[in-house]
Amino acid sequence: MALNKAIILGRITHDLEVRQTQSGTAVLQFTVAVDRNYSKDGGEKQTDFINCVAWRQTAEFISRWFSRGRMIAVDGRLQTRTYEDKNGTKHYITELIVENANFTGEPKQDSNNNGFNQNGGGFANQYQQTPQQTQQNNGFNGDAQSVGDLSEFEDVLSDDGVPF
């Protein structure tokens, strides 16, 4: 049995834009900056920039509720691919294919609502794909789907009782 699972927590590095494949499937490519837990010889901490790809409802969810600079927790599987540029140079890419996206508890500031945005910001807020959706995300075929009813999300304004 093989296991391919990665979990990352970091900040989104650029503005998010959902695109559509030729068949109308929503896809979102973004990068998450993740600080390393150590620094070399007492210097500044180093940061890894992880390329991520989200499909369908997960892509729509992330683009709706997150933005550049916002903390995000994502998990999924690592996938590699190669391509040749117009000069014939072969490039290797490793990406996290996002299966789940979670808020980190960092509230988004909003001057109209006592400093908190109704868009979320608690550990209770997450979007998780069904196993069928995860399997469909392997290719470019399929129809785009909407995020669905988000009324079940609950704002958590405190991290009291969170074990980490």
Domain boundaries, the chain: 6-136
Considering the chain, what is the average pLDDT of its residues? 76
Residue, of 3 and 39, whose pLDDT is higher = 3
Query: What is the predicted pLDDT for the residue at 147?
Result: 42
Tens digit of each residue's pLDDT (9 = 90 or more) over 35-48? 988 777 777 888 99
Query: What is the predicted pLDDT for the residue at 85?
Result: 94
Q: How big is the chain by its Cα radius of gyration, in Å?
A: 17
6-136 CATH choice from 1.10.3720.10, 1.10.10.10, 3.10.580.10, 2.40.50.140: 2.40.50.140
The Cα–Cα gap between 101 and 73 comes to 6
Q: Are 134 and 56 in contact (CB under 8 A)?
A: no
Query: What is the predicted pLDDT for the residue at 38?
Result: 77
pLDDT of 99 strictly over 90? yes
Residue 107 pLDDT grade (very low, low, confident, very high; cuts 50, 70, 90): low
Single pTM value for the model = 0.63
Q: Are 103 and 125 in contact (CB under 8 A)?
A: yes
Tell me which DSSP letter residue 88 carries. S
| Residue type for position 150 | L
pLDDT of 144 strictly over 60? no
Helix, strand, coil tally for the chain in percent (to 5): 10, 40, 50
Query: What is the predicted pLDDT for the residue at 84?
Result: 94
Q: Are 55 and 78 in contact (CB under 8 A)?
A: no
Tell me which DSSP letter residue 4 carries. -
Strand partners, 6: 76
Residue 160 pLDDT grade (very low, low, confident, very high; cuts 50, 70, 90): low
